[in-house]
Amino acid sequence: MTDSTARVRELNLCRQYFEFVAAGTKTVEVGVKYPHLADLTAGDTIRFRIKGTDETCDVQVLRVTEYPNFGALLDGEGPSNVNPTATRNQQLANIRTIYGPEKEALALAIEITRTSR
């Protein structure tokens, strides 16, 4: 028997990105294909949390797309969907400070829509 029920994943976000998600202006989350995200799929729920707080925001996953690197991800998804206040080059630099060079080949774009706060 297989379980086709959508799953809920909990992920931490810094306040700035959390606020973009909550406002609906961030529609693509950048991640890497870590084992806990390898089977993330459309219909799943992500509960974003500001680390160290009880503040959460639920989103539904619309699509998960793999990219060969973070530059290709930003070009394919549109930088304003990832961070509406930063340029592509600023975002690329920020992403690369979060994820080391060994993670480039594991780039994931997670298209999301807000469901609750």
Predicted TM-score (pTM) above 0.75: yes
Is the CATH number 3.40.718.10 carried by domain 8-116? no
- pLDDT for 72 beyond 90: yes
Q: Which pLDDT does position 2 carry in this prediction? A: 47
3-class DSSP string for the chain? CCCCCCCEEEEEECHHHHHHHHHCCCCEEEEECCHHHCCCCCCCEEEEEECCCCCEEEEEEEEEEECCCHHHHHHHHCHHHHCCCCCHHHHHHHHHHHCCHHHHHHEEEEEEEEEEC
What's the rounded mean pLDDT across residues 91-100?
94
Q: Which pLDDT does position 83 carry in this prediction? A: 96
